[in-house]
Amino acid sequence: MSGLSFAITLPTWVRSVIDFDQVYESDEDKMDLANALAMGNVAHQTGGPFGAAIFEEATHRLIAPGVNLVVPQNNPTAHAEIVAMGLAGELLGRYDIGDDGTKPAVLAASTEPCAMCLGAVPWSGVSRLIIGARDVDARNVGFDEGDKPADWIVSLEARGITVRQDVQRPQSVLVLNSYLSSGGEIYNTDGGADDA
């Protein structure tokens, strides 16, 4: 079956939120962008309430943004983190975002990665993960985050990936609650793991 393909296309409004020249020096600055992407997705009704961004650790500049596009693109893998990782690889021209540790990269996720996204983090090449809302916050609005090991942070850190939780958590939770109150679709509540 030659000629089959699929592509992930970010909504056009994303360009108004991102700035590749800006320096996102602190973890809070990085999370502010992830939350702005998530809130933009809610406000524009272009996907779920999840945003992510990948930054170059050395310069604190944005490499790639990501938003959840599961429903509008009919793609169960189009979670914000996966979208950001895929776009980063495409923009950098390599599948290992951190270039075997020579160019450390940070992933900021507005909500703790679900089971699928957690599995992708070590393969992405990022060396640091910062998280806003927690798994419980996503579950509280109805999303199923999938089955993750209780010691997932220890597992990532054993692979050299540091994790920082609760960065701008109140703002991240606000995005989730805004999505719920606006009538956003809560999908895969029957045991699937399709949300972040």
Q: What angle do CA 177, 156, 35 make, to 5 degrees?
A: 25
Q: Is 112 one of the annotated active-site residues of the chain?
A: no
pLDDT in tens, 133-177: 999 999 999 999 999 999 999 999 999 999 999 999 999 999 999
Instruction: Using alpha carbons, list the distances in angstroms from residue 10 to 16, 50, 67, 163, 164.
Output: 12, 13, 7, 27, 27
Catalytic residue of the set 28, 56, 57, 81: 81
Q: What angle do CA 172, 139, 154 make, to 5 degrees?
A: 80
Contacts (Cβ under 8 Å, ≥6 apart) of 67: 10, 11, 14, 37, 38, 40, 41, 46, 47, 50, 51, 52, 80, 83
pLDDT at site 3: 80
pLDDT at site 40: 98
Contact 112, 145 (CB under 8 A): yes
pLDDT at site 4: 86
The CA distance from 141 to 179, in Å, is: 9
pLDDT at site 187: 84
**Ranges of the chain whose pLDDT falls below 70:** 1, 189-196
E strands, the chain, are 51-56, 62-67, 105-111, 128-133, 162-164
* CA 12 centroid distance within chain: 18
pLDDT at site 189: 61
pLDDT at site 63: 98
The CA distance from 144 to 149, in Å, is: 15
pLDDT at site 193: 40
Number of neighbouring beta carbons within 10 Å of residue 12: 9
pLDDT at site 173: 98
SS3 at position 62: strand
